[in-house]
Amino acid sequence: MMLKAGLVFCLLVAAATCQGDNLAVLATKLGLSDLVKLVTAAGLADTLANKGPFTVFAPTNEAFKRLPEPVIHHLMNNKTDLINLLTYHLVPGTVKSTDLKNELLAPSVFANHNVRINIYDGEQGGKIITADGCRVVLADQLASNGVIHEIDRVMFPIPEGTVTDLVAKDKAFSTLLAAVTKAKLAATLAGAGPFTVFAPTNEAFAKLPAGALDKLLANVTALTDVLTYHVVSGTVYSDGLKKEQDVPTLEGKNLHITKQRERVMINNARVELADVSVTNGVIHVIDNVLLPPSFH
């Protein structure tokens, strides 16, 4: 009897081995201990072990360590928020890196929220893949019920809102909102896009010479030129920027971008806050207003 039971156990182990590790086991083997801890706390371990298939954009331990301690504390004490965060990292089906396309909006398990995929040319050749701006550092780790792509940051569900919505909600952009409204660009920036917007703060507009802003607001053509000079077609997150490059704007002229470690310059403006995701692209907050060459 014992021999028979042992034989059955060995057959089950052999079958499991043939089928490969499930997502929960694979995550453990990959050393994603912080993710496994949170998945367990959220009561999702069985989902990753026995359901699917799923594509998991899995933050590394280093990614979780980047989060402020109060954020981790909140997640550990608010199960609903934790579940929402983790299911945002799950996409139904087995989606390998070769299946991913630039500007793909992959529906996550977290209802009504998409993960934006971007693919960029790397400086040294090859491709850079990002999910909501988070870089894929290890792709295509196959499990019996899906695949894991490790990412270097934690993704947070994108608030329902476009470029225009975010600018309207944040008081730091009240001058930009007034300018966008005056130029009748609000509908454009609320459109499908996608757009990359280098958004000047109120303080950036205050740096303009005395009377310059009033003159712009009184000249819709010039104002439109200035505003569209801040907009690039497509979604360009930080990882999609090269050390030095020129990118065409909707205005028609190029912006010169330089990137040195954490310092990113757009012409003479510094990026103060990068990779603010919106439903129709991404916003980078800058500290100076960008003026087309003809304005200098």
pLDDT digits (tens, 9 = 90+) for 35-68: 999 999 999 999 999 998 999 999 999 999 999 9
Mean pLDDT value across residues 155-174: 92
**Are 161 and 186 spatial neighbours (Cβ–Cβ below 8 Å)?**
no
Residue 19 has a pLDDT of: 52
Task: Give the span between the Cα atoms of 40 and 86, in whole angstroms.
Answer: 11
Segment 7-32, tens digit of pLDDT: 433 433 344 444 589 999 999 999 99
Q: What is the model's pTM? A: 0.88
The rounded Cα 68 to chain-centroid distance in angstroms is 18
Whether the per-residue pLDDT at 3 is higher than 70: the answer is no
C-alpha distances (whole Å) from 36 to each of 31, 45, 130, 258 are 9, 8, 22, 38
Tokens standing for 86?
Answer: 């983790």
In one-letter notation, the amino acid at residue 181 is: T
Q: Is the peptide bond before 194 cis (omega within 30 degrees of 0)?
A: yes
Mean pLDDT value across residues 112-125: 91
Q: Which CATH class is domain 18-151?
A: mainly beta
| CATH number of this structure's domain 163-295, picked from the four choices 3.40.190.10, 2.30.180.10, 1.20.1250.20, 3.40.50.1970 | 2.30.180.10
Mean pLDDT value across residues 199-210: 95
Q: Which residues of the chain are in CATH 2.30.180.10 domains? A: 18-151, 163-295
